[in-house]
Amino acid sequence: MAEQKHLVLILAREFASNLATPMGITDEQGRLVYFNDAAESIIGTTFAEAGEMSFEEWSAKAAPRTREGELLPPERRPAAIALNERRAAHERLKVTGLDGVEREIAVTAFPLFAHADEFVGMVAIFWGS
């Protein structure tokens, strides 16, 4: 049986699905639970093809790097900051899409809370530069 998603994640997905801004959503463990159609050109595939995946899996596939090409340490990755430190973060970086194409993007990630003390996930908004 599929795990029930928190209402906040369901609402975030609905919001993202109506935006022309590329957006990805994870649950509280960092599991990628959705990215919208606008994100497909950056991620390099559709969500239907990629499916849900763990933070470790999608982070490894993206291989975030500095603009100079050096592996970006986790403490500088916006998604990791939003998940681990529960605060917003922004960075310009290079990633590899699931199609194998390297892209330079800007990412802003922020935590999602259902209540002040109930962390339910993270949203990342990104765009090509």
Per-residue pLDDT tens for 100-115?
Answer: 999 999 999 999 999 9
Q: In the predicted model, is pLDDT for residue 3 greater than 80?
A: no
pLDDT tens digits, one per residue of 16-70:
999 999 999 999 999 999 999 999 999 999 999 999 999 999 888 899 999 999 9
Whole-model pTM: value is 0.90
Q: What range does the domain containing 95 cover?
A: 7-16+26-128
Residue 90 in any domain: the answer is yes
Both tokens of residue 125? 């908004």
Confidence tier at 5 by pLDDT (50, 70, 90): confident
Both tokens of residue 86? 């529960």
Confidence tier at 128 by pLDDT (50, 70, 90): confident
Residue 11 in any domain: the answer is yes
Residue 21 in any domain: the answer is no
**Domain CATH number, residue 45:** 3.30.450.20
Confidence tier at 129 by pLDDT (50, 70, 90): low
- The total domain count for the chain is 1
Residue 54 in any domain: the answer is yes
